[in-house]
Amino acid sequence: MKKPVLEVNQLQTHFFTDRGEVPAVDNVSFEIHSGEVLGVVGESGCGKSVTSLSVMGLIPKPPGKIVGGEILFRPQQDEGEKEENLVKVSKKRMRQIRGNQIAMIFQEPMTSLDPLYKIGYQIIEGVRNHRAVSKKEGRQIAIDMLKLVGIPRAEEIVDEYPHQLSGGMRQRVMIAIAMACDPEVLIADEPTTALDVTIQAQILELMKKLNREKGTAIMMITHDLGVVAEMCDRVVVMYAGKVVEQGDVRTILKSPKHPYTQGLIRSLPKMGKRESRLYSIPGNVPKPGSIKNGCRFAARCPAVFDRCYQENPELIEMKEGHACRCFLYDSKEAEVSHV
């Protein structure tokens, strides 16, 4: 098997604020293979967006800083290039990679396009930065990209401004910008959260098509487990800056092991059947950095015991490709509970 196109190892991104150092991303590791869709799931404040910004080299510093770990990028298209650690590369090199080989779709289609520039210009801007393309060729590329993402009247839309488009159309333009350089890795940060369900279905369909046809690896950041089931091959579940569980999509959604993942899935209202009462996880999502010792989920966990408050659990391999950060599955604890 080929090595993963993107490998994140023990990534630590901290923010230095007036109230002290906040570990927004705390020893996060995962990998994405070419042609794969990886879901990153978690609630607000769990560090999923900071993780993606770290990969893109877009963490505002100060106050943010990557204080540890590595982000290994292995382009697979050109044989000549070898792996690079994105934490270490120069700003200039990062600019060459960003938008070209690793691209990102941002969450808010309403605010992430520049209202003063025409759609066509915004699509070509990245292409012209990375490749020698004339204006005329660029325009053609923009039109082709708009057609690819299913925008009607592409020849006219290139000369229009963002305010002339609806939310769904703008999100398509965002995807067109991200796909224009044919990236190897596409990071999509809640790409459909701001959209209606019928439009969301269109956008997801489009992303699936691009993934299938071009083999682009997609890192899909979302809080919607329905979207995960629809799109992803593997899932990483994050809670308070840590990966608490990871595995293939079927395992995570059908037989989750971590109490948090279990609670998250059980607390969803189901379309198919109507339950009398929803399960709910008690308490609130902790503020980043507020829990120093022990498992971050301990205070809300239904299966908590003393050790959870004192020690940090490690990720434990359950079976191949499925890992869970919980003492319940620690072999030492298993012996104790059997006694």
Q: How far is the CB of 288 from other proteins (least distance, A)?
A: 13
State the virtual CA torsion across 69, 315, 33, 168 in degrees, nearest 10.
Answer: -90
**24 binds other proteins per the rule CB under 8 A:** no
Q: Residue 201 or 334: which CB sits closer to other proteins?
A: 201
**163 binds other proteins per the rule CB under 8 A:** no
Q: Residue 139 or 170: which CB sits closer to other proteins?
A: 170
**Could you tell me what percentage of the chain is helix, strand and coil, using 3-state DSSP and rounding each to the nearest 5?**
35, 25, 40
**254 binds other proteins per the rule CB under 8 A:** yes
**198 binds other proteins per the rule CB under 8 A:** yes
**270 binds other proteins per the rule CB under 8 A:** yes
* Residue among 96, 104, 73, 84 nearest 5 (CA): 73
Candidate segments 81-89, 127-135, 161-169, 315-323, binder of other proteins by CB under 8 A:
161-169
Q: Residue 105 or 281: which CB sits closer to other proteins?
A: 281
Hey, what are 302's tokens? 């239904």
If phi over 0 gives left and psi between -120 and 50 gives alpha, with beta otherwise, what is residue 215? Answer: left
The one among 75, 120, 162, 263 contacting other proteins by CB under 8 A: 263
* Residue among 84, 42, 87, 51 nearest 68 (CA): 87
Phi and psi at 145, nearest 5°, equal -65, -45
* Alpha carbons 52 and 239: distance in angstroms, whole number: 15
Hey, what are 127's tokens? 């292409």
The one among 284, 309, 321, 334 contacting other proteins by CB under 8 A: 284
CB-based burial of residue 90 (10 Å sphere; 0-12 exposed, 13-18 middle, 19+ buried)?
A: exposed
**267 binds other proteins per the rule CB under 8 A:** yes
Say how many residues touch other proteins, by CB under 8 A.
46
- In the window 37-96, what residues touch other proteins (CB under 8 A)? 43-44
**264 binds other proteins per the rule CB under 8 A:** yes
**3 binds other proteins per the rule CB under 8 A:** no
The one among 66, 158, 207, 281 contacting other proteins by CB under 8 A: 281
Q: How far is the CB of 276 from other proteins (least distance, A)?
A: 9
Strand partners, 22: 15
Q: Residue 69 or 168: which CB sits closer to other proteins?
A: 168
Q: Residue 136 or 274: which CB sits closer to other proteins?
A: 274
**218 binds other proteins per the rule CB under 8 A:** no
The one among 199, 299, 316, 318 contacting other proteins by CB under 8 A: 199
* Residue among 259, 267, 246, 337 nearest 300 (CA): 259
**304 binds other proteins per the rule CB under 8 A:** no
**291 binds other proteins per the rule CB under 8 A:** no
Q: Tell me, what amino acid is at 1?
A: M
DSSP string across 59-103: --TTTEEEEEEEEEE---SSTT---EETTTS-HHHHHHHBTTTEE
The one among 280, 290, 331, 337 contacting other proteins by CB under 8 A: 280
* Residue among 249, 97, 293 nearest 187 (CA): 97
Q: Which residues bind other proteins (CB under 8 A)?
A: 43-44, 166-169, 196-202, 204-205, 223-230, 249-250, 253-254, 263-265, 267-272, 274-275, 277-282, 284-285
